[in-house]
Amino acid sequence: MLYVPGGANVFGYVSSSTAGTRPAAAQGTSITPGTAGFGTALQVGLDLTDDSYGILIGINSNSANNASRRTVVNIGVDLAGGTTFTTVIPNLVAGGAPSFITEGIAQYYYFPIFIPAGASVGASAFGSVGTAIRVFAQFYHKPLNPSARRTATYAESIGESTFEGTNFVPSVTAANGTWTSIGTTIRDLWWWQVGVQGTASDSSYAANTTILVDVGVGDGTVAGTEVILKDIPIRQGSAAESFNNIPLLGGCEYQVPAGSNIYIRGQNSGANETGNYNAVVVAAGG
């Protein structure tokens, strides 16, 4: 019998909250952001029929010409399969999330968080405008090597401020930008994601650019002593003031203890926008 090895990140199958749905510009569940706090959480897809060991979140349909839509999204879970969601993944940056089929697909985030069969998953949003956005998810089931599969139980955000983030200034030269402190970890964390959006002072982007973003951890005296995420591409689109990123399915695992200082820097392929950019780092642990 031929032996086929299965790595720690290999799954038996992947399910989707939009299974059987034809791709559209607005893909997934419609979520209306609150402007004074998070809006109503709505279920994303059906209840899980199998244990899930990872979730890929796609956010789209939150961009428009001459508009600055700063937004963050919470992902919650109801273990009983109802609609009373407890936030598990907070403050995912969603400002400028593009049209699903015309502007670059989505803003993506992946977390290796365990969600048991029978649970339901919901999303809510907090933003500068109350225009509906879309959220969908894919779930990763039946790991082929469960004993080698590491899963998280919680996540926290670093750098958030209402529906904004921490402002940073990417370099526009051949050198990396200066490290900017965005906050301190509360718990031990090991899985890292980052999101970038525009600012309130810029509602009309001048050009299409790509920003390479680094996230680092420091001891408080030396910023970015260790780099957690390196050269993560964030694309800024000028046609409808949009941002999109690639799903970081791997290469984000780095153990960081509670009380660590987190930093961000960037390098832009073109000129920076007015007011520059906001960022939130979201990391998981447990």
Rounded to whole angstroms, the Cα distance separating 27 from 136 reads: 7
Q: Are 11-148 and 154-285 the same fold in CATH?
A: yes
Token output for 243? 């941002």
Cβ-contact 33, 51 below 8 angstroms:
no
What confidence tier does 3 reach under pLDDT thresholds 50, 70, 90? very low
Domain spans in the chain, listed from the N-terminal domain onward: 11-148, 154-285
Rounded to whole angstroms, the Cα distance separating 248 from 195 reads: 11
Rounded to whole angstroms, the Cα distance separating 32 from 18 reads: 18
Rounded to whole angstroms, the Cα distance separating 134 from 44 reads: 10
Encode burial over 122-158: b for 16+ CB neighbours within 10 A, e otherwise. Answer: bbbbbbbbeeebbbbbbbbbebeeeeebebbebbbbb
CB atoms within 10 A of CB 281: 28
Rounded to whole angstroms, the Cα distance separating 50 from 119 reads: 9
What CATH code is assigned to 154-285?
Answer: 2.60.120
pLDDT one-digit tens code per residue, 231-256? 999 999 988 899 988 888 877 899 99
HEC secondary structure over 70-88? CEEEEEEEECCCCCCCEEE
pLDDT one-digit tens code per residue, 15-48? 999 999 999 999 999 999 999 999 999 999 899 9
Rounded to whole angstroms, the Cα distance separating 222 from 178 reads: 12
Q: Residue 106 gets which letter from DSSP?
A: -
Residue 1: the pLDDT is 44
What CATH code is assigned to 11-148?
Answer: 2.60.120.260
More confident residue, 170 or 201: 170
Q: To the nearest 5 percent, what fractions of the chain are helix, strand and coil?
A: 0, 45, 50
Average pLDDT over residues 185-194: 96
Rounded to whole angstroms, the Cα distance separating 184 from 262 reads: 6
Encode burial over 41-56: b for 16+ CB neighbours within 10 A, e otherwise. Answer: bbbbbeebebbbbbbb
| Residue 121 confidence (pLDDT) above 50 | yes
Residue 7: the pLDDT is 54
* Residues in a beta bridge with 267: 171, 212
Give the whole-number percent of the chain exceeding pLDDT 70: 96
